[in-house]
Structure formats: structure tokens, C-alpha cells
Amino acid sequence: MTQPSTHEVTELLIEWSNGDKAALDKLLPLIHEELRRLARHYMSRERPGHTLQTTALVNEAYIRLVNRKGVHWQNRAHFFAIAAQVMRTILVDHARSQAYAKRGGGAHRIELDEAMIVSQDRAAEVVALDDALKTLADFDPQQSRIVELRFFGGLTIEEAAEVLDLSPATIKREWSTAKAWLYRELSKR
């Protein structure tokens, strides 16, 4: 895929925040591709010892895709919200493929990179968490979004508060109850 122009991404973000749903459809694959590319790069062994920060990664994707000066903060918040969703898809897909990857099993598709083998326990946990989060979304969509932003999108309490336009205190309260519920769900397994 060719590198989309930053102008194009900026336009799409603006169109989307103005309520044009179709813009999001065009935007998603661009962001997906960019995040996947960066994730592959970061998680490859070329950068041993590098401590990863999701926010740094998303920021880099954002900077690469968007000319920061031309876009309002509101768009950046939107960008983080979408990026968290996209990160979730990328990571859960990857974890799922690894959790299914069998010891000594034959050929199977590895999503990010051949060399990127996450421990099966870790992969299984990410998959389990994703499942539990879907259940949570059924009865508390907002909490599920908060966890998505924090855990998959790597946002701090304050950043999540800005994206969702809620107070940090609310986010904190919702976060700790969601965490208690999810922890209990996962310990049941």
C-alpha cells in the first residue's frame, strides 16, 4: 500500500468528526496499516531492550499520518479512540493466532511477524480478556470503551477522560470497577 498523504488523512479526520461516517471506513484501513507496520517494526528483534509504550506508538502513527499543526485536538482524541480499537484488533488477532498455534504444529499464518512469538499463556490471556470485554460491553458499553482505551490504546486516565469527555474522577471510578469485574471473570477460567 502506498503511503497516504497526510493531507488525505487530515481531510478524512475532519470529515469524520463532522459526522461523515463513510470517512471512517476510508480512514480505518490507513490507520490499521500504519499501526501494523509500526507494531511489526517495534516488536521485531531489531530493537532489543526497547521499552514499548502504546501511546508512543500511536503518537508516531499519528504524526506520520497527520500534519499535527493543521488538526485540532478534538481530531487527535478521535484518532486515539479509533487507534485503540484498531490496536485491539491487531493484538487480539495476533494473540488468537498464537494461542491457537500448537506446540510443534504445522504451518499457520502468523499475523505480525514470523519472529514475533508471544508466550502462549500471555496470548491466551489477551484473548480471554478480549472475550470478557465483549461481555462487559453488553451491559456497560462505556466501561468497555474505557478499558479498550486504557488497555489496548495505552491511554492514561487523563487522556481517556479527554477522549470520552468525562472527568478523570469518573474514569478512575469506572476503571476500578471494570477491572474488578474483569479480574473475576478471568480468574474463573
Partner 1 sequence: MTPEHWQQIKTLLQSALEREPGERSAFLVAACADDDLLRKEIESLITSHEQAGAFIESPAFQLMAESLEDPTKSLAGQSFGPYQIIRPLGSGGMGEVYLAEDTRLGRKVALKVLPAHFTEDDERVRRFQQEARAASALNHPNNITIYEIGEIDSLHFIATEFIEGVTLSDRLEASRIETYEAVDVGVQVASALCAAHQAGIVHRDIKPQNIMLRTDGIVKVLDFGLATLLDKKSDDLEAATLVKTKQGLLMGSAHYMSPEQARGQKMDARTDIFSLGVVLYQMVAGHVPFTGETMTDVLASILRVDPPELSQSAPQTPAELLRIVNLTLRKDKAERYQTAKELLTDLKSLKQRLESQRESELAVMPELIGISPKQMEQEIRFCTTADGVRIAYATVGHGPPLVKAANWLNHLEFDWQSPIWRHLFEEFARYHLVVRYDERGNGLSDWNVENLSFEAFVQDMEAVVDAVGVSRFPILGISQGGPVAIAYAVRHPEKVSHLILYGTYARGWARRGSSPEELERRRAYLTLTKLGWGQDNPAYRQLWTTLFLPNATLEQWHWFNDLQRITASPENACRLLNEVGQIDVTDFLSQVKVPTLVLHCRDDAVAPFEEGRLIAGMIPGARFVPLEGHNHLLLECEPAWPKFVAEVRRFLKTEKDS
Q: What's the gap between Cα 185 and its chain centre?
A: 21
Shortest CB 64 distance to partner 1, Å: 16
Binding footprint of partner 1, residue count (CB under 8 A):
67
Q: Helix, strand, coil % (nearest 5) of the chain?
A: 75, 0, 25
Q: Which residues contact 48 (CB under 8 A, 6 or more apart)?
A: none
Residue 33 touches partner 1, criterion: CB under 8 A = yes
Distance CA 124, CA 99 (A): 5
CA dihedral angle for residue 34, residue 39, residue 45, residue 49, rounded to 10 degrees: 120
- Footprint (CB under 8 A) of partner 1, residues 123-162: 123, 125-126, 129, 134, 138-140, 147, 150-154
Q: Least distance in Å: CB of 69 to partner 1?
A: 27
**Binding interface with partner 1 (CB under 8 A):** 1, 33, 39, 42-43, 45, 48-49, 51-55, 57, 87-91, 93-97, 100, 102-106, 108-109, 111, 116-123, 125-126, 129, 134, 138-140, 147, 150-154, 173, 176-177, 179-184, 186-189
